[in-house]
C-alpha cells in the first residue's frame, strides 16, 4: 500500500541552512575551549624560556595557576570564541 502524500522538501532545506552554521559555530566554541588552555601553557613556556627561568611543563602550569587559578587558563578566550565561531559560521 503506497501513500499519496506529497512531501514538502522546503522545510528540510530551510532546516539545513540553519543547522549548518549553527553546528559550525558550536564546533568552533568546543574547539576553542579545549585547545585554549594548551595554547596558554605554550605561551607561558615561551615567556619562561625568554626569562631564563625553569621552563618545564610543570613550571608553566604552576606559573599560570598561581596567577589566578583555573580561570587564568582561559584568559583571553572571549575574542578567540567570537572570531572563531563567526568565521566558521560564515564560511
- For 25-55, the pLDDT digits (tens) are 888 889 999 999 999 999 999 999 999 988 8
Residue 31 lies in a domain: yes
pTM: 0.70
- SS3 annotation, 27-90: HHHHHHHHHHHHHHHHHHHHHHHHCCCCCCHHHHHHHHHHHHCHHHHHCCHHHHHHHHHHHHHH
Cell of 20: 549548518
Distance CA 85, CA 11 (A): 25
Number of domains, the chain: 1
Choose between 84 and 55: higher pLDDT: 55
Residue 37: which domain range?
A: 11-90
Q: What count of residues does the chain have?
A: 91
Amino acid at each position: 500500500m503506497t501513500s499519496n502524500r506529497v512531501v514538502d522538501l522546503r522545510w528540510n532545506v530551510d532546516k539545513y541552512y540553519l543547522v549548518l552554521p549553527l553546528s559550525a559555530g558550536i564546533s568552533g566554541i568546543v574547539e576553542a575551549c579545549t585547545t585554549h588552555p594548551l595554547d596558554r601553557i605554550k605561551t607561558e613556556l615561551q615567556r619562561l624560556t625568554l626569562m631564563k627561568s625553569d621552563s618545564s611543563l610543570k613550571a608553566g602550569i604552576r606559573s599560570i595557576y598561581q596567577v589566578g587559578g583555573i580561570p587564568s587558563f582561559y584568559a583571553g578566550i572571549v575574542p578567540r570564541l567570537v572570531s572563531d565561531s563567526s568565521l566558521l559560521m560564515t564560511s
